[in-house]
Amino acid sequence: MPASPLTYKDSGVDIDKADTFIKDVSPLIKKTFRKEVLTDIGSFSALFKLDLAKFTDPVLVSGTDGVGTKLKIAFMAGKHDTIGIDLVAMCVNDVLTSGAEPLFFLDYLAVSALAPLTAREIIKGIAAGCTEAGCALIGGETAEMPGFYSNGEYDVAGFCVGAVNRPDIIDGAAIVEGDVVIGLASSGLHSNGYSLARKLFFEIEGHTHSTHIPELGKTIGEELLTPTKIYVKSVLSLKSKIKIKGMAHITGGGITGNLPRVLPAGLGAFIDKSSWESPCIFGLIRDKGLISEEEMFKTFNMGIGYTLVVAGKDTDRAIKILNAAGQKAFPIGMIIKGTGVIYN
């Protein structure tokens, strides 16, 4: 028997600390609210009124994702203010591929014991990502799970809901032979391939997160914690001006595994690898790890984080619109008869 009556706090769950934390981050969250949000922070559920003047034939589009082992780099570096951007990006970029506008986002943060300063940095990043994507951080859950996670470690998951008018859904069905594939530049590894990158840099090469890499001009930790790019605003701007036939978010599996997911049966893609310049990190991984080009393109985004398929006649105008929106874009290939992706 215990020497004194047990409390929940004795077992590692501090409800008062969690309540204080929610009050502390509330201003960050409220800054992301859209006019359609009807509930305040603290409700059992979040209410969002769909704008039926804008969405006259609405279809809801949902997506969920995490950040994967990129979290390990954040733990090593003690830097937690960008992981939330990654979390939002992985979800909103997926929802975007259907032509949907992300409307609201929910997060799940699980910790062994709540460290308010760390948790605040995580939520700060999530709020920043939601602001960049134009969606409201409408709800979430912070769970203390003592004994389940190692001290100082946590996991995050995100959930996004968007909407698109039914006639405006982009599903790849309109893609035909001769259409052009446009690639949107990535900011680096984004949130994929980190198990391989960690093995190479930290196990084989023996680096720490603070090792300065001359080729990169920064530490390996800084490079690997570069946030995933959010493509929402530039792509939605393009969608209002040009017919986009299909879109793919280039995540795990690279262009090889993701672009074919939006192509009709009987069609493949020819990709010209010389049409864009991959960030230095990819060449470093390839050379240090003695990794084949095939494996690289099957594992990493290789500098292209998102792809669009448009008619050939719309290519130049599409790239100008994207560049004007601050998004680097390149014509990287063409739709061909066949299956899968062929590289030059």
Average pLDDT for 14-20: 80
Q: Is the confidence at residue 261, as pLDDT, over 70?
A: yes
What radius of gyration do the chain's Cα atoms show?
A: 22
CA of residue 290 relative to chain centroid, distance: 28
Q: CA-CA distances (angstroms) from residue 236 to 29, 171, 215?
A: 24, 15, 35
Q: What pLDDT, in 10s, does the model give residues 172-215? A: 999 999 999 999 999 999 999 999 999 999 999 999 999 999 99
| pLDDT score for 107 | 97
Residues 44-59 have a mean pLDDT of 96
Residue 17 CA, chain-centre distance (Å), reads 30
How far apart are the C-alpha atoms of 228 and 70, rounded to whole Å? 11
pLDDT over 90 (residue 18): no
| pLDDT digit string, tens, across residues 76-128 | 999 999 999 999 999 999 999 999 999 999 999 999 999 999 999 999 999 99
pLDDT at 6 over 80: no
Nearest alpha carbon to residue 184 among 310, 298, 343, 338: 310
Cα separation, 50 vs 321, whole angstroms: 29
In the chain the domains, ranked by start, together with CATH numbers, are 9-168 (3.30.1330.10), 180-343 (3.90.650.10)
The residue to which tokens 């769909």 are assigned: 50
User: Confidence class of residue 43 from pLDDT cuts 50, 70 and 90?
Assistant: confident
Percent of the chain with pLDDT over 70: 99
Read off the pLDDT of residues 285-305 as tens digits, 9 standing for 90 and up.
Answer: 999 999 999 999 999 999 999
Do 83 and 156 form a contact (C-beta atoms < 8 A)? yes
| Window from 6-20, 279-293, 318-332 with minimum mean pLDDT | 6-20
DSSP assignment of 53-117, as one string? TT-SSEEEEEEEEE-TTHHHHHHHHT--SSHHHHHHHHHHHHHHTTTPEEEEEEEEEEESS--HH
DSSP lists the bridge partners of residue 105 as 137, 160
Does residue 10 or residue 270 have the better pLDDT? 270
315-324: b (≥16 Cβ within 10 Å) or e? beebbebbee
Task: Give the total residue count for the chain.
Answer: 344
Confidence class of residue 147 from pLDDT cuts 50, 70 and 90? confident
Residues 6+ positions from 283 with CB-CB distance below 8 Å? none
Question: Minimal CA–CA distance to 182: which of 74, 40, 82, 304?
Answer: 304
The whole model's pTM is what? Answer: 0.94
Quick check: 2 pLDDT over 80?
no
* Whole-number Å distance between alpha carbons of 197 and 107: 26
- Residue 19 banded pLDDT, cuts 50, 70, 90: confident
Q: Which helix (H) or strand (E) holds 18?
A: helix 15-30
**Structure confidence at residue 1 (pLDDT):** 66
3-state DSSP call for residue 12? coil
Flag whether pLDDT at 8 surpasses 80.
Answer: no
Tokens 């290939």 locate to: 333
Cα–Cα distance between 257 and 279 in angstroms, integer? 20
Cβ-contact 89, 190 below 8 angstroms: yes
Residues of the chain with pLDDT > 90: what percent? 88
Report the mean per-residue pLDDT for the chain: 95
Residue 99: which region, alpha, beta or left (left: phi > 0; alpha: psi -120 to 50)? left
pLDDT at 17: 79
Q: How many CA atoms lie within 13 A of 184 on its CB side?
A: 30
